[in-house]
Amino acid sequence: MSELKALLFDVDGTLADTERDGHRVAFNRAFADAGLDWYWSVELYGQLLAVTGGKERIKHFLAGHRPDFQAQGDLDSFVAGLHKAKTAHYTAMLADGAVQLRPGVRRLLEEARAAGLRLAVATTTTPENVSALLTHSLAEDGLDWFEVIAAGDIVPAKKPAPDIYLWAMATMGLKPDECLAFEDSKNGVRSSTGAGLTTLVTVNGYTENEDLSGAAVILDQLGEPGTPFKVLAGDVLGADHVTLDFLRQLHAASHG
């Protein structure tokens, strides 16, 4: 059986609850700056999350909600400009400490690092957003905790395609049975399991009712000592919060 060598993390919704009060707000600020009368409510944003990637999400919104919209000039350039403004708002919010890591994330990352496990990020979000989150919410050198940051447009086919996980593993010279993935959403689980990865899911308000089949374990959070997780699906092998020991057992059970 292969040894567990690396943990591969999604970012949005997994490391931190970034969508509702982070990305959504930043999109709305960019729309207002551009003089657009578009507003993405909490509910509408939940529907728009069906499409990953901010630029792709804006185009999806236009197709479904503003079919008559005419961009000044080329649509791709217009969307790219709007998205750049959104990224500036989002990273400024993170610099202001607007988003915290989810429970258990820091503890698990520290434990994994101390044990010499290799860490990587596999996300749809823009690289600047990952840097801002890790720097402001994890540690000043948080980016250096991760060997590979696979993010944004680095692969053309975003999640639910498996490409971003395949790219991360190829860059690290690892096989799927040497890694575990951490996800929060249906699109994420389709991507990670499509890449052959055993996947642990921690849900959030937007994803708790999604079809997450394929995940090895589905929890409400990673948990902390004294603050147990709630198990939504899967066998947690007697654990009540996610530790490295638990992950090694989960890995062994998946590949035994």
124 binds, among ligand XBP, Mg ion, none (CB under 5 to 8 A by kind): ligand XBP
Residue with the CB atom nearest ligand XBP in the bound state: 54
Q: Which is nearer to ligand XBP, 52 or 198 (CB)?
A: 52
Establish how many alpha carbons lie within 13 A of residue 104's alpha carbon, considering only the half-sphere containing its beta carbon: 19
Site string for Mg ion, 3-42 (x = CB under 5 A): -------x-xx-----------------------------
The least CB distance from residue 170 to ligand XBP, in Å, is 18
* Closest distance of CB 7 from ligand XBP, Å: 16
**Is 233 in contact with 217 (CB distance < 8 Å)?**
yes
| Cβ nearer to ligand XBP, comparing 6 with 236 | 6
How many angstroms separate the CA atoms of 44 and 181, rounded?
A: 28
The SS3 call for residue 215 is coil
12 is catalytic: yes
Residues 222 and 238: their CA atoms lie apart, in Å, by: 14
Token pair, residue 173, equals 């010279």
Q: What angle do CA 250, 255, 256 make, to 5 degrees?
A: 95
10 catalytic? Reply is yes
Catalytically annotated residue among 10, 17, 163, 184: 10
3-state percent helix, strand, coil for the chain, nearest multiple of 5: 45, 15, 40
Interface positions with ligand XBP (CB under 6 A): 10-13, 19, 23, 52-54, 57, 123-126, 129, 159, 185, 187-188
Q: Which of 38, 161 has the CB closer to Mg ion?
A: 161
199: enclosing H helix or E strand: strand 198-202
- Per CB under 5 A, residues contacting Mg ion are 10, 12-13, 184-185, 188
Residues serving a catalytic function are 10, 12
